[in-house]
Structure 1
Amino acid sequence: MKKKPLRWLIAIALLVPAVWLIARLAFPPAPPHYLTAPVARMDLEETVLASGTLKPVKQVSVGAQVNGQLKSLKVKLGDRVSKGQLLAEIDPVLQQNELRKAEAGLARAEADRRAKAAQLVQYELALKRQKTMLVSDASSRADLETAQAQLDSTRAELAALAAQIRQATVDVDTAKANLGYTRIVAPMDGEIISVVTQEGQTVVSAQSAPTILIMANLDTMTIKAQVSEADVVRVKPGQPVYFTILGAPGKRFYSTLRAIEPAPESIGTESSQSTTGSTTTAVYYNGLFDVPNPNHVLKTSMTAQVSVVQGAAKQVLAVPVAALGKQEKDGRYAVRVLEQGKPQDRKVRIGLNDNVNAQVLAGLNEGDKVIVGDPAQLPVEKPSEVGF
């Protein structure tokens, strides 16, 4: 009776492999499924991305050079003005009084000079008379020397008065200029983009000229694009560039890169940062370019999403960047192509790369299916263990 269970165990042990083999032959496993993409023709563009700010090509802060109350403002925000047009007037009473005082000082100095000139003539005659009298022994040499000294002293005083007149003339010219500064005129053609000081306010120019208006020429805008230190080595003046603005993301504005500033904007704060111990991780260099703005669609301080074009190609063979494998020493990339359901290794040369698709220079043909993903290589998520 004990041999019967042993026979059953042997039979089961032989039956299980046989069943597995029959099932394997009758129902073979499905071939692996690969994610593929065809090698196709498309337009490619390799760019360096940057963020910039729009500024007028010419912007001037119009200020006051004299003290006083802003008597009248002749323009308002948004007005277009021409060079030399009157923008504002400062109460001129103080400057008029200074001019009168300077003119009075000049008149006094000129009167003193005329009086001293008349005295000089008198001393010249006295010296001449003393010389004649000395020849006839009618006068002493001491009187002659006194007359000569008076003449020389008067000539020196006349020279000092001439210097005073020149100084008084400068004072008059300065007073006239300050009186003219009470009339503030436009230094260029442009548009009023900001009114800083209102009528009735008092301006004081003791240390720096206070700003009354800000005007700019909006016909041409300058974009200052911040290029990261990782990309700035690839960016050069003369390269094509375009940008979009938030208000019109579908419209591109085209231009040409004019210059790359040789130092980052943060260079002025490096000393203070080293003192405080703080450091800046990101370094950006400004790329400058101009764009026409005839309809003034572009406004001051708008944000621009800038693309500096490194290269462009029309209807070239391209492959998804996800299909590229490891780069070899010779510069080629490893790619797997699906042929008759089986992956085959290829080596390809790549040209332009826009980080989504890459140009195929050699190694693939149009229509080849490259493997961009293998589900078998995806990580399997383990079920989370919940403890009680």
Structure 2
Amino acid sequence: MVSTTGTANPELTVIVGSYVSGVIKELYCDYNTEVKIGQVCAKIDPRPYQTAVDQAKATLSVGKAQLLKDQAALAYAKISYERNSALVITNAVSLDAVDSAKSVYNQAEAQVSYDEATIEQRQAELDAAKVNLGYTDIASPVNGIVVSRNITIGQTVAASFQTPTLFLIASDLTKMQVDTNVSEGDIGNIKLDDPVQFSVDAFPNRLFEGRVTQIRQSPQTVQNVVTYDVVVGVDNKELALKPGMTASVRIITDQRNDVLRIPGQALRYRPESAMPFNSARSRVWLLRGSQPIPVEVEIGLADDDYVEVHGGDLNAGDQLIVGERSGETRSASYPRL
């Protein structure tokens, strides 16, 4: 078993920001508000962006009018060039006049092409202005619940340098995860889907259960101590767990059923009068009558408190010596198996 601490968090948390700057005019969502995809949570004052849209529309209209004017000039230049080209055969006009008409015609064609490109540019500017106007509606990108609100009506949002965080939305609080840090010495014992038990201060007498869903490969190094993130998935249908709660976590890396276990302290106890012990097996002291009796055992799985033992003349209910009371030499603590 591996013991550690962790923090309860929603499985998916979405930061809702703003692409445009401005003053918050309306606020429709607060803490714990349930939201749907596309639901507007806040509105930035749209007047500057509506003005930009109107200006872009007017500029586009001017460009279209200019195109109509230059198309008419192109049509006249074409007629003039074709007429002079026919008259030059009869020497009614000079070649210079034909060349001049052709130049005017070519310039008119170029001007129409320029106008068409300008209209495309101004149409793009209008589309961009409309997009920015749409961004004044701050909408939820997911179904979920608002867990944090960082704005108030009248507050100025500045998106010039980085996207400001306006809301924090958890997609589903019935599915939580506990983010833990496991030392490099213990990470090798943990596997995906290992069972996990944990408690939180809000419910000290309740034991929550989950399973390991992720073992992240990226190490975290703090003051030369290396740990790895282990994520525990938890059902939270009763909504008892809140984001940010601190959890005391036990990851069960292996499990034995119907075995004999003893307190770990029993393996560390040795009477002062005991003879040196060189066996490869471990030894505990069993109280029979008023005398401590040594018993050799083989140890198995261990956690923070108990150790699995095999062999030896031990039975459930026997009293083991785990230590002597302060100030006494013969009186000891005798837990039962």
TM range (shorter): 0.7 to 0.9
CA deviation after TM superposition for structure 1 residue 280, in Å? 0.3
Name the structure where helix makes up a greater proportion of residues. 1
**Letter of the aligned partner of 1:229 in structure 2?**
E
Q: Which residue of 2 aligns with 1:317?
A: 260
**Structure 2 residue 77 is matched with structure 1 residue 120:** no
CA deviation after TM superposition for structure 1 residue 368, in Å? 9.2
Q: Which residue of 2 aligns with 1:170?
A: 124
| Larger-gyration structure (1/2) | 1
| Equivalent residues in 2 for 1:184-333, closer than 5 Å | 184-217=138-171, 218-266=173-221, 280-324=223-267, 332-333=281-282
**Letter of the aligned partner of 1:220 in structure 2?**
K
Per the alignment, in what secondary structure is the counterpart of residue 311 of structure 1? coil
Change (3 A) 1:367 1:303: closer
**Structure 2 residue 80 is matched with structure 1 residue 131:** no
Change (3 A) 1:235 1:301: same
Q: Structure 1: how far apart are the matches of 2:312 and 2:263?
A: 14
Q: Would the aligned equivalents of 2:266 and 2:323 in 1 still touch at CA under 8 Å?
A: no
Change (3 A) 1:289 1:162: farther
Q: Would the aligned equivalents of 1:350 and 1:360 in 2 still touch at CA under 8 Å?
A: yes
Q: Could you give the per-residue CA deviations for residues 101-120 of structure 1, whole angstroms, max 9, x where no partner exists?
A: 11111111111111111111
CA deviation after TM superposition for structure 1 residue 72, in Å? 1.4
Change (3 A) 1:109 1:330: farther
Q: Would the aligned equivalents of 2:157 and 2:164 in 1 still touch at CA under 8 Å?
A: yes
Q: Could you give the per-residue CA deviations for residues 209-253 of structure 1, whole angstroms, max 9, x where no partner exists?
A: 223322222222121111122211212222111221111122222
**Letter of the aligned partner of 2:228 in structure 1?**
Y
Q: Which residue of 2 aligns with 1:359?
A: 308
**Letter of the aligned partner of 1:282 in structure 2?**
V
Q: Would the aligned equivalents of 2:8 and 2:177 in 1 still touch at CA under 8 Å?
A: yes
Q: Could you give the per-residue CA deviations for residues 316-341 of structure 1, whole angstroms, max 9, x where no partner exists?
A: 12233233369x99974344566798
Q: Which residue of 1 aligns with 2:24?
A: 70
4+ residue segments displaced more than 6 Å:
328-331, 338-344
Per the alignment, in what secondary structure is the counterpart of residue 264 of structure 1? strand
Equivalent of 2:101 in 129, 137, 147: 147
| TM-score, normalisation: structure 2 | 0.84
Task: Indicate the RMSD between aligned Cα atoms, in angstroms.
Answer: 2.9
Unmatched runs of 5 consecutive residues or more in structure 1: 1-46, 267-278, 381-388
Per the alignment, in what secondary structure is the counterpart of residue 253 of structure 2? strand
**Structure 2 residue 322 is matched with structure 1 residue 350:** no
| TM-score, normalisation: structure 1 | 0.74
Change (3 A) 1:373 1:189: closer
Q: Would the aligned equivalents of 1:337 and 1:345 in 2 still touch at CA under 8 Å?
A: yes
Change (3 A) 1:124 1:211: same
Per the alignment, in what secondary structure is the counterpart of residue 87 of structure 1? strand
Q: Structure 2: how far apart are the matches of 1:213 and 1:319?
A: 52
Unmatched runs of 5 consecutive residues or more in structure 2: 270-276, 330-337
Q: Would the aligned equivalents of 1:331 and 1:349 in 2 still touch at CA under 8 Å?
A: no
Q: Structure 2: how far apart are the matches of 1:237 and 1:264?
A: 17
Select between 166-175 and 317-326 the one with higher mean Cα deviation: 317-326
Q: Could you give the per-residue CA deviations for residues 66-95 of structure 1, whole angstroms, max 9, x where no partner exists?
A: 222211111222221222222112211101
Q: Could you give the per-residue CA deviations for residues 322-376 of structure 1, whole angstroms, max 9, x where no partner exists?
A: 33369x999743445667987766543222112332212334442596864586x
Per the alignment, in what secondary structure is the counterpart of residue 283 of structure 1? strand
Per the alignment, in what secondary structure is the counterpart of residue 162 of structure 1? helix
Q: Percent identity?
A: 29
Answer 1 or 2: higher relative contact order, Cα 8 Å, separation at least 6: 1
